[in-house]
Structure formats: structure tokens, C-alpha cells
Chains A and B, each alone.
Chain A
């Protein structure tokens, strides 16, 4: 990791779509092993920022470092290989595959079965496939999806689909996980269980986590740091308590005058 102990660093990252500035020169860092939340009103540029970190969009300007590696403008699969996994705001599972297959696809970059080895069915490949299956089942259990292995992803209940997305992201063997509104649409019980699961990811798996979240109870409950975006600009950053007390944040959420 980099000397300053940050697993991810963004330096003056900027994204323009035509004339629209979606993300405006944002500086940002995730300390290794921490849970960081990214909040802000709808349209503040949070998902655009996510998409730059994962290589879906190429920043207009600025640099993104993962550890000490410059990942600016790298293709998504290369960034995944380096160790960033993510989930999506609108669940994007492979609907026509089973839960187990979804997780196996997540392992794609960690498996070696090339076309020719697949045709030859070498013993090494067979062992690798068996181990991959075992590990996939284990990941499903760990994510709270016991007994759902062979169900098609689209037939799973909503909460389980969210869990499967996380299991699939974990299968890419990430060091940093990006969760885009993971508790959206969950009821309070599901949200509480999911929040607990996210903190376990850090303590048990040693992961660093960045999440976009609207549920302030979740954000304030488990984040070490909170960054607030509004109209593409970073308007506040700090501990949950600091951010909660910040006038500009209250203004962004509730409108001018509310802070008075």
C-alpha cells in the first residue's frame, strides 16, 4: 500500500458530459481498512464518481490511485483484477444464471481455464473448477444465501438479490468494495441485518469499503468517514458527527435557511 496508508486516492478528479460538470475537481481518499460513505442529494455526482473509480467512465481530468497503482482510465476488468469489486444501484445480476453461477462468473479473473486447457480438460483445471465451486458455495453461505445455490438469480427475493450482488463482488477477491445504495428498498430489519453484514466484511475479511447510501441511520452507524457531494463538488468531509453538524450539508439537504 501507499506510504500514507490510503487504499484509494483521487486527485482533482473531474468529469464533464458535454457542458455539464458532473464531478468537479474532487480530492478524496479511503484509508485502508475503513468504511467510508459518500452521500449527497440525488444528481450530486455520486454514481458518476463510482463509475470513474471502477473504470466505467474515464475522468476528464485528474488521477485515481489504487494503493500506489495509477488506475486512471484503465478498463473495468483490469481494475477488478487489481482488487476493486462493486455492486450496482439497480441490481444487475445475471438473471438467467443460478446464484452459484453468478458467483462463479465473479471468480472469472481469478481462474485460469483458457480455451485450450478447457478443451484438453487437464487434471489441474478440473481441480481448479472443483475448488471454485466449493469456494462459491462458501461465499453464498457467508453472504446469508444458504440453500439458494441453484435458484435462478431473478427468482430470488429482493433482499437476497442484494446479498447475491455482494457475494458476486466478493468472488472477485477485492481489497476494496464499492456498494452503490446497498440498502435501497430494504425494510428496517433487512437494513439492520445488512449493516451488520457490512461491518463484518471489514472485521472478518479485512476489506475497505466505500458506499453510497441514503439511509442516514446506516451512514452514521457504521462509517468512519463521510464525504458529501453536492452539484459535483465536495462540500464536506469528516467523521459522521462532524458532517452532521456542517451547515453546508444541512443546507444542501434541506435548502437555504434551514441551518439558521
Chain B
């Protein structure tokens, strides 16, 4: 914290922030309605990134492991949701609204439960035995699991894109002075917000949540308090898997996805977790919404904007800048589970 940064770097950072503010204000003045519309899109990106980023941060908080397989679990969950929703339940754009909503909710619950089990299974098979091994061993294993999950998705779903983007209507809820908001955007938040409230409550207030926080802070001391550490870690992975599955379904309802969608999205969500301060739940969400907004602004605004070709460079530029200049992230504490 007390480390003195070279004046040059501070000046550069300040200059960047000033430029960013000028750019945002300029865009807002240039076209307020466009700015607000793009902001709505950014919130939706942020919500999906947030659900995935929480998975990275929960696992890092409890095991200090960067679970590189997480993005691929997300992608597979989206594809499995497609099977459930479109193939099995047969929901189409022509289904009645109530049927569609019921179908989506059933798919959500089933996919969350299924991928909770899958993720806990991954931990049990691949990571548990490596718990006292050097961290690099677990990290490389995570990369291996990432390839396995991705190739399972490839084997089942081939290289074709799947989507269910027409199920939630894109009709306007309101239009006011060039600003409009559609049902499909609202739906993402209608799913995300309750999930986040439930998660917060679980971690803060329940006995299992306390056990999770205790295990993240000091595993041995937690065991000595009568906490079953293996079980607590399984529950954490289950939680991360369920969150990934909720993100997978929301993504499927908004975009096309296929077996390798999780690679890039996983890295973006990881960047969000690092930006907010990995291990910190609130930080993961803050980072996710920041990245989501940056992406939406960059791709949607028109006044001196780099444009979508530059999105990846910008996002991963942020990752590098954070790692170099503020490795503890925005809500910086170098300890896990600061909540």
C-alpha cells in the first residue's frame, strides 16, 4: 500500500482516466440517447460476466486456484441448456409466453443443479488430491480440465453454433426520447438479481456460508472448528457451477454459442475478477460491470471510439495493467473473501 509509484506512471494513469472521462462526457453530449441505450447493453454484459467471474473468485478465495476450466463449464452449460430448452422441452419462438417462461425457469433450475454436480465432480476427481501439491500442479491440471470440458462439448455439439435468441421477445418495454428498453434485456436482470441476492444471503448468513468464509480465511483453523473442509470445498464448487449454468442459459438467450465460446468469455470474466480483486465477491461484480460497460461503450458509441476490433486489446490491456500496477484489484485487500 505504501509503495511509492514513480511519478511518471501516476501521471500516465491520471492522463488515461482524464481522457476516459472526456471521451464518456463527449459521447454523452454528442448523443445522450445513444449513450443510455449502450449503457443498458453494458449492464447485460456485466451481469453475465459477473455470474461467471463469481465462480472464479469463489474458487480462488477458497483454494487459491485459478480454475481455468470454469469458462468451459460455462459454455458447456449453455449448450446443455439448449438441449433441454429447445430439443427436449421443444420451446420455440411460437410457444405461448407462459410456456416459454416456465420452460426457461425449468431449464434454469435443472441446469444449475446439474452443473453444480458436474463442477463438484471435477473438484473431486481432478483437484482434491492435489490440494497439498505445489500450486502449479493444480493450475496445470485446471488447464487440462479446460481442454477436456471443451472437447466434450465439441464431441457432443460439434462445431455448429446454437442459439435461442428469439425466445424472449425484443419488443420495447418503453421508448422515451430515443431511449428504449426491451424485454430481453430486462429478462437478464430479472434472473441475475435474485441469483445474486440468494448468493449474498447464503454466504453472509447461513451456517454453510460461514463455513465457506472460515475455510477461505484459514483452512486448518476451520477444520479445528469442526468444519468438514472437503465438504465445504465441494459446496463452493457446486455454487460456482450453478452460477456458471445460470450465466450459460442467459448467454444462450442473447447470443450464439458453441464449444469454444467459454474460452474467451472465461478470460474476460477472469479479468473482471482480477480487476475487482480476486477472492472478493463484491469486487468480482464491480469488475464485471466495469468490463461489461467498457465493452458496450467501445462497441456501441460513435464519437471517437476505437470500435469492436479493439475490444479484446482493451480488455486484456486492462488485465495486464491491473496485474502490473495494482495486483490486489480495485477493492484491494490481499486476502481472500474480504466481504
Decide whether A and B assemble into one complex: yes
- Among A80, A96, A109, the most chain B Cβ lie within 10 Å of the Cβ of A96
Query: Do A105 and B214 touch across chains, with their CB atoms under 8 A apart?
Result: yes
Query: Do B221 and A77 touch across chains, with their CB atoms under 8 A apart?
Result: no
Query: Do B225 and A168 touch across chains, with their CB atoms under 8 A apart?
Result: yes
| Given A92-B221, A168-B225: A118 touches B206 (CB 8 Å cut-off) | yes
**Which of A86, A113, A115 touches B224 (beta carbons < 8 Å)?**
A86
- B194-206 toward A: CB 8 Å interface, digit per residue (1/0)? 0000000010011
Q: Is B72 located at the chain interface by the 8 A CB criterion?
A: no
Query: Do B210 and A95 touch across chains, with their CB atoms under 8 A apart?
Result: no
- B8-48 toward A: CB 8 Å interface, digit per residue (1/0)? 00000000000000000000000000000000000000000
List the A residue with the shortest CB-CB distance to B206: A118
Number of interface residues of B (CB under 8 A): 27
List the A residue with the shortest CB-CB distance to B223: A76
Q: Is A10 located at the chain interface by the 8 A CB criterion?
A: no
Query: Do B226 and A96 touch across chains, with their CB atoms under 8 A apart?
Result: no
List the B residue with the shortest CB-CB distance to A129: B207
Q: Is B338 located at the chain interface by the 8 A CB criterion?
A: yes
**Which of A77, A95, A113, A118 touches B223 (beta carbons < 8 Å)?**
A77
| Given A77-B229, A96-B337, A96-B338: A104 touches B210 (CB 8 Å cut-off) | yes
- A204-247 toward B: CB 8 Å interface, digit per residue (1/0)? 00000000000000000000000000000000000000000000
> What chain A residues lie within 8 Å of B217 (beta carbons)?
94-97
List the B residue with the shortest CB-CB distance to A128: B207
Query: Do B221 and A115 touch across chains, with their CB atoms under 8 A apart?
Result: no
List the B residue with the shortest CB-CB distance to A56: B220
- B173-211 toward A: CB 8 Å interface, digit per residue (1/0)? 000000000000000000000000000001001111011
Number of contacts between A and B (CB, 8 Å)? Answer: 90
Query: Do B213 and A94 touch across chains, with their CB atoms under 8 A apart?
Result: yes
Whole-angstrom distance between the alpha carbons of A113 and B217 in the complex?
21
- Give min CB distance, B240 to chain A, whole Å: 15
| Given A92-B220, A95-B335, A97-B217: A118 touches B226 (CB 8 Å cut-off) | no
> What chain B residues lie within 8 Å of A171 (beta carbons)?
225
Whole-angstrom distance between the alpha carbons of A232 and B201 in the complex?
48
List the B residue with the shortest CB-CB distance to A178: B224
Q: Is A101 located at the chain interface by the 8 A CB criterion?
A: yes
**Which of B207, B228, B337 touches A118 (beta carbons < 8 Å)?**
B207
* 8 CB-based A-B contacts, threshold 8 Å: A54-B224, A76-B224, A93-B218, A95-B217, A95-B335, A101-B210, A105-B222, A115-B206
Residues of B that sit less than 8 Å from A by CB: 202, 205-208, 210-211, 213-214, 217-218, 220-230, 235, 335, 337-339
